[in-house]
A = this chain, B = another copy of it.
Amino acid sequence: MSTRNSLLDVTARLYSEHGWRGTTTRRIAEAAGVNEVTIFRQFGSKEALLLESIQAASREEHDNQLPREPARLRSELIVWALLHHAEISSKRQMIRNCLAEWEEHPELAPVVCEGGMKAFAETTRYLAEARKRGMLGPDGSLEAATVMLMNAVFMDAMTRDVGPLSPPHTVPEVVEMFVDLVLRALGAREAA
Contacts and interface: CB of A to CB of B under 8 A. Distances in A.
Interface of A: 17-19, 21-22, 93, 96-97, 99-104, 109-110, 113, 116-117, 120, 139-141, 143-148, 150-152, 154-156, 158-159, 161-163, 165-167, 174, 177-178, 180-182, 184-185
A113 B144 contact: no
Interface of A is mostly: helix
B93 A181 contact: no
B163 A116 contact: no
3 interchain residue pairs of minimum CB distance: A100-B100, A185-B185, A144-B177
Contacts of A178: 144, 147-148
Number of copies: 2
A182 to B, nearest CB: 7
Find the residue from A120, A146, A148, A178 having the highest chain B CB count within 10 A.
A148
Given A110-B163, A148-B152, A151-B154, 5 more contacts: A18-B104, A93-B100, A96-B100, A99-B99, A145-B181
A19 B99 CA distance: 12
B150 A165 contact: yes
Contact of A141 (B116, B144, B162, B181): B181
A96 B99 contact: yes
Contacts of A144: 177-178, 180-181
A177 B21 CA distance: 39
A99 B159 contact: yes
Contacts of A113: 159, 162-163, 165
Contacts of A120: 165-166
A187 to B, nearest CB: 8
